Amino acid sequence: MSLENSNIWCWIIPALVGIISGILGYLIGKGKHASVLDQGPELKKLEQENSSLIAELEACKQQQASQKTETKKDVPVASLSNTEAKPHSFNPVEAKAAFGKRVKENDLKIVEGIGPKIEGLFHNFGIKTWKDLSEVSTNKCQEVLNSGGDRYRIHDPASWPMQAKMAYMGQWAELAKWQDKHKSGKF
């Protein structure tokens, strides 16, 4: 019988060592896997924050560059003045004559660089008229663009408030001339 007992232990000991090793391996592996999964959302959040900061830095650089060149431009003085001039009532005939197409009142897409999707982003922020857009900062425009994701990063909103003010003031010929002179709304 002692031979049989020793023979059983030859099977039990390796089996127990294997089971214990398997359990420990599973627990260690699960712990490492869980920490990798936990880093995923945190890493994604940091990447988004980094993208946002890069976009903000670019917007600041663009604003600084536009402020340096703003005094050199031949933009009508009325479009840049801080005093609130009376807007002309919307005249679709004058707008059509200047742009060669029908223009709807408060259509933000008349601003060079704003399309239907970007107009929707501005509407989501409560910016629905030319007057509204003319009163926001370039930083706010960039914030609106950032809300749409990375695909809107290529847009430069530096001139959008100025263009909107020209539309709001009924300066159609000046706006069309400015847009022709400045490709894609860039200086």
pLDDT at res. 78? 44
Q: pLDDT exceeding 70 applies to what percent of the chain? A: 78
Q: Has residue 19 got a pLDDT over 90?
A: yes
Q: Tens digit of pLDDT for each residue in 40-96?
A: 777 777 777 777 778 777 877 777 777 766 544 444 444 444 444 556 688 899 989
The answer to whether 168 and 87 are in contact (CB under 8 A) is yes
Q: pLDDT exceeding 90 applies to what percent of the chain? A: 42
Q: Has residue 164 got a pLDDT over 90?
A: yes
Taking alpha carbons only, the member of 134, 141, 140 closest to residue 163 is 134
Q: Tens digit of pLDDT for each residue in 1-17?
A: 555 666 888 888 889 99
Q: Has residue 24 got a pLDDT over 50?
A: yes
Question: Please, how many CA atoms are within 13 Å of residue 90, restricted to the half-sphere of its CB?
Answer: 15
pLDDT at res. 157? 93
Taking alpha carbons only, the member of 131, 78, 91 closest to residue 108 is 131
Q: Has residue 171 got a pLDDT over 60?
A: yes
Confidence of residue 33 (pLDDT cuts 50, 70, 90): low
